[in-house]
Chains A and B, each alone.
Chain A
Amino acid sequence: MSTFLGMPAGRVPGPAADTAVGQLTGNRSFPAAARDALGDTRLRRNLAHATATIRAKRASVVGEVPDWEALRDAGSAIKADTMARLPELLEELERNVTARGGTVHWARDAAEANGIVLDLVRATGADEVVKVKSMATQEIGLNEALEEAGITAHETDLAELIVQLGHDKPSHILVPAIHRGRAEIREIFAREMPDVDLATLTDEPSVLAAAARTHLRELFLRARVAVSGANFGIAETGTLTVVESEGNGRMCLTLPETLITVMGIEKVVPAWRDLEVFLQLLPRSSTGERMNPYTSMWTGVTPGDGPQDFHLVLLDNGRTRALADDLGRTALHCIRCSACLNVCPVYERTGGHAYGSVYPGPIGAVLTPFLTGVTGGHDPNDSLPYASSLCGACYDVCPVKINIPDLLVQLRAEHTEAHAAAHRLPSAEAAAMAAAAWVMSDPARFARAGRAAGTARHGIRRGRPLLPLPPPLNGWTASRDAPSPPAETFRDWWARTRGGRS
């Protein structure tokens, strides 16, 4: 069983998410993947442009809300209250959805959730589904599972469509195709949309959006089954909520006969009134709009209006593992706005693919390891807590005040302990720290070491950074400058000058 630094006695964490199913783990560590991403100048230009645009928009619309901090406090408190009462709230949600004609299913993990959705789609006889953008269904790899069973899943969100048509992977929570510029998007559409008019298809965003409208319209009109996620599920009323911009969500939630919604268990909120907080926090943090163009809410089935067959799939998949830990629990507060990605200096340079998980950026660097566990070995997710400079910008913008830097530090400590437990030999870092401790524990040794470094300076490179250090220390200087040791140590300077007073 896993141990947590932040886990009080008496709590039993649920099992970790199975990384073999779905998309919670990449095939390389973050530093290895990031090195490639940093070499892609087009990617860096696209990301710098997009994140700078969204940062400015967010700052502008957040700045006009006088009670923003009070809303953040309330959002954080509602989520903490939700986690503490999670079993009761989920049972209440289930009761209310069922009372209004919906069916609730529970899934322990990704494979079980995929199986439930697959059975439901098969029962309708349909061989295709339309999809609303959903992180939960990406997490569990639903499209791939449906594909294997001969059912085509059509992504309808514009960015998801760009990713799907480009045979690509999402790289951002809100805008999965953020790594693509307009010219690349035009190329993808020209290649993959069979009925597109190449003569009029330019790389103007409005023209590209119109091409997506034409491409998907027929699909919306004929679709019999839709699959969605949910931003919020209200326990008190059984109401599900999807916020979106384009209207593809409304199409999927309104026109088909059958609607299947996959929702993580942490997305429940206690009361209708709580949406007055989240519907102010989410759009401004997310797209930098005062309100997103469309928000849909439905409660079970409404006769004569919308899908008459509604299924809600409640998903664990590692969430009960995170829940047992005081800090891991706060990672479950995330409302998937992606503000932390847009302000992160690491994300802005590497993009989302380097993280391997469908949850990239600062929140991904904590949420993913909490869901899948930290092994202390060579699992790519073990490297995620280090994908940060701990600058704290993510905490400042988080609409529900998740202290991401604190979570990162705790996960690093957990990783160090797991590594020590898994390996007989100490890591290079631990050996270096032990050596440093031996030197620093004795004043005479410390003084001698300082002078030795000063002497070494003359022997190596006068006045220039020691770059790179020889192995095994080159791991450190691969991404940092090692400063040149001074000619005179502080202790020697002090002994000579008494702080400048003599």
Chain B
Amino acid sequence: MSARDEVLARIRGALGDNPADAPPVVRAYREAGEHPPGSAAVVDQLVERLEDYRATVVRTRGADESVGIAIAAALDAVGATSSIAAPGVPDGWTSATPVCIRDVGTITPRELDRVDAVVTGSVVAISETGTIALDGSPRCGRRMITLVPDVHLCVVSVADVVQSVPEGLARLDPTAPLTFVSGPSATSDIELSRVEGVHGPRHLVVVIAG
């Protein structure tokens, strides 16, 4: 018997002829928060939670040019002199940052290691947990580009901010390559005290637009 057939047979044997009827799953938890997506309350909460994780948060108006000015200022503030942008970010986001190159899918990890910062959009943000989701779409970029550079500058549109985890997950396609980011890289492995900055980007700059 193949390992597959044997493991499945073992499981069926362990469950018996009449597998126990598991009670139905009752979902009495909150499906949605009390504040609507994009409301001032959820945006304020997102800012508070991100700053609690020691992310840098910048707020700007929604026009691409405004976002572009905020991005240029933020990159300057962290001292980034080279940057790469996800292929689908609007031109206006990088027009004030002339050194920013576009990812065309050919850069190697080793080359990427010499780039200071990466600029991407995002699909959804969850305010209660301070979480930003990236889905590998052109605006979010391949997973590699948001990982190797030391600064991740991520633009969150106010309309994409929801309050609860269930609301956030409902907006995502699970088969896309997903990355949830909640603050900069961190560890609690030394005496269970949280310190920021291990292997992922040590600086997370969030530009909230709109």
Q: Interface of A with B (CB < 8 Å)?
A: 8-15, 46, 49-51, 53-54, 57, 66-67, 70-71, 73-74, 77-78, 80-81, 83-87, 90-91, 100, 105-108, 112, 156-159, 162, 175, 177-178, 181-182, 185, 205-206, 208-210, 212-213, 216-217, 220-221, 234, 237-239, 245-248, 250-251, 253-255, 265, 272-273, 275-277, 279-280, 283, 287, 289-299, 302, 304-306, 314, 316, 320-321, 323-324, 326
Contact = CB atoms under 8 A, between A and B. Distances in A.
Given A81-B25, A217-B113, A251-B147, A159 B174 contact: no
Contact of B131 (A291, A298, A326): A291
A75 to B, nearest CB: 10
Contacts of A255: 109, 144, 147-148
A326 B22 CA distance: 12
Q: Which size bracket describes the interface of B in this complex?
A: 35 or more
A299 to B, nearest CB: 4
A323 B17 contact: no
Contact of B199 (A105, A205, A213, A265): A213
A157 B176 CA distance: 25
Contact of B28 (A74, A182, A185, A220): A74
Contacts of B27: 70, 74, 277
Nearest to B143: A254
A295 B193 contact: no
A324 B20 CA distance: 11
Given A74-B25, A246-B185, 4 more contacts: A53-B193, A86-B11, A234-B174, A275-B169
A406 to B, nearest CB: 17
Nearest to A255: B109
Contact of B15 (A84, A90, A302, A304): A84
Interface of B: 2-4, 6-8, 10-30, 49, 53, 105, 109-110, 113, 126, 128-131, 136, 142-144, 147-148, 165-166, 169-170, 174-201
Contacts of B6: 106, 108
Nearest to B179: A296
A81 B12 CA distance: 15
Main DSSP-derived SS at the B contact region: loop
A475 B13 CA distance: 41
The 4 tightest CB contacts between A and B, nearest first, are A247-B200, A12-B13, A246-B198, A247-B199
Given A84-B19, A158-B198, A290 B28 contact: no
8 contacts: A77-B24, A84-B22, A205-B187, A254-B147, A272-B169, A291-B130, A295-B179, A297-B178
Contact of A272 (B13, B129, B174): B174
B14 A213 contact: no
Contacts of B18: 10
B7 A106 contact: yes
Contacts of B143: 250, 253-254, 296, 305-306
